[in-house]
C-alpha cells in the first residue's frame, strides 16, 4: 500500500467541526497549469544485503508532497524505529540513493548543483568556527563574497536571536543545546531554501528547551513565504503542534498507514496546545502509530 502525504481522504478519521479550516483547500484558476509536486518519491525500493539475509526497507513505495502556491507547508513523518523515516530525508537531501526508484523535484530529477539543507539531532556546527562563520559557510560555497556573506549571516542570526553570540565558537558549553540547534537552523535558512529537512532536531534537548524550540521553529516557519519543512520526530505532540500534515508509516517494508491533516490555527502558541482539537489530533496520531 502506498499513499499520498497530502491526500485528505487517506486514512483520515473525522475532524471535529471546530477544527475545520476551509482555507486548506487548494484552489486553482480554471486556466492554470497543473501543479507539480514539491517532492515526489516514486516506486522506491531499498534493500540492504542479499538472499535470505536481505532487509527490505521499501518495496514499490511512493510518497508525494504537492505544491501549494504562495504558501508554506509543514509535513511530519512518523513511524517505528527502522521504518525508513530518516532514509526518506536522506533521499531528498541527496545523501543517499535508493536501490531503485525516482526522487523528483517539481517533476524533474535532482539538480546535482543544488542541495537540500538538513538539520540533524546531533549538533552539526563546526566547532572551530565562530557562530557567524558557521552561518556564512553555505553562502561562501555558493560563491557569495565574504563581506556580503557576513552581512546576510548576521541578519539571519538576528532572526534566530543569536546576534549577540556571533563571535563565539559554535560549541558547548559556549552555547546551550538549543542555541546550537538555532545555529544549524540559521545555517540552513540563510540560503532561502524551498525545502528544509529536519531529522529529530530536538531529540537531545530537555523538555523545557524542546518546547521553547518548538515555539521558535513554528514562529520561524510562519515568517517564511513559501517553504516546505519535512520533519521526522517520535513525539506525537511535537508533530501536531508543528505540522499541517502528519504521515504515519509502518515497517518491513514501509507503508503509509495514516495521513492526518492538522487543522489548527496557522499562528500557534500555548493556546493551541490546550485546545480540544490538539488532544484530538494527538490521539489520532497515537492510534495510527499503534
pTM value is 0.85
Residue 15 DSSP label: P
Domains observed in the chain: 67-86+112-289 (3.40.50.300)
Tens digit of pLDDT for each residue in 67-126?
A: 887 788 999 999 999 999 999 999 999 999 999 999 999 999 988 778 899 999 888 889
**Residue 244: helix, strand or coil by DSSP?**
coil
pLDDT of the residue at 35: 63
The residue whose grid cell reads 531529540 is 203
Tens digit of pLDDT for each residue in 30-80?
A: 554 556 789 999 999 999 998 888 999 999 999 999 888 778 899 999 999
Measure the CA–CA gap between 133 and 166, rounded to whole angstroms.
Answer: 8
Can you tell me the mean pLDDT for 16-36? 48
Measure the CA–CA gap between 207 and 202, rounded to whole angstroms.
Answer: 9
Can you tell me the mean pLDDT for 151-173? 94
The dihedral of CA 280, 247, 231, 70: what is its sign?
Answer: negative
Instruction: Estimate to the nearest angstrom the gap between the alpha carbon of 145 and the chain centroid.
Output: 29
Lowest mean pLDDT among 69-73, 139-143, 165-169: 69-73
Phi then psi dihedrals of residue 163, to 5 deg: -60, -30
pLDDT above 70: residue 26: no
Q: Are 39 and 104 in contact (CB under 8 A)?
A: yes
Amino acid at each position: 500500500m502506498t499513499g499520498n502525504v497530502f491526500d485528505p481522504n487517506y486514512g483520515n478519521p473525522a475532524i471535529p467541526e471546530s477544527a475545520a479550516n476551509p482555507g486548506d483547500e487548494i484552489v486553482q484558476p480554471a486556466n492554470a497549469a497543473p501543479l507539480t509536486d514539491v517532492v515526489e518519491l516514486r516506486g522506491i525500493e531499498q534493500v540492504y544485503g542479499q538472499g535470505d539475509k536481505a532487509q527490505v526497507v521499501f518495496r514499490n513505495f511512493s510518497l508525494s508532497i504537492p505544491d501549494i502556491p504562495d504558501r508554506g507547508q509543514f509535513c511530519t513523518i512518523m513511524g517505528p524505529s527502522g521504518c525508513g523515516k530518516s532514509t526518506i530525508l536522506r533521499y531528498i537531501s541527496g545523501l543517499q540513493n535508493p536501490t531503485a526508484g525516482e526522487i523528483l523535484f517539481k517533476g524533474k530529477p535532482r539538480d546535482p548543483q543544488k542541495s537540500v539543507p538538513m538539520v540533524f539531532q546531533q549538533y552539526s556546527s563546526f566547532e572551530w568556527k565562530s557562530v557567524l562563520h558557521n552561518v556564512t559557510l553555505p553562502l561562501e560555497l555558493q560563491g557569495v563574497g565574504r563581506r556580503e556573506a557576513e552581512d546576510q549571516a548576521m541578519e539571519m542570526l538576528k532572526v534566530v536571536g543569536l546576534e549577540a553570540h556571533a563571535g563565539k565558537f559554535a560549541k558547548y558549553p559556549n552555547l546551550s543545546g538549543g542555541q546550537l540547534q538555532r545555529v544549524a537552523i540559521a545555517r540552513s535558512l540563510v540560503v532561502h531554501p524551498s525545502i528544509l529537512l529536519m531529522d529529530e532536531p530536538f531529540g537531545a534537548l530537555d523538555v523545557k528547551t524542546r518546547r521553547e524550540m518548538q515555539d521558535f521553529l513554528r514562529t520561524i516557519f510562519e515568517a517564511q513565504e513559501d517553504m516546505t519543512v519535512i520533519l521526522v520526530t517520535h513525539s506525537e505532540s511535537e508533530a501536531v503542534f508543528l505540522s499541517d500534515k502528519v504521515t504515519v508509516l509502518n515497517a518491513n517494508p514501509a507503508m503509509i498507514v495514516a495521513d492526518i491533516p492538522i487543522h489548527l490555527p496557522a499562528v500557534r502558541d500555548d493556546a493551541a496546545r490546550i485546545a480540544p482539537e490538539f488532544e484530538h489530533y494527538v490521539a489520532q496520531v497515537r492510534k495510527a502509530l499503534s
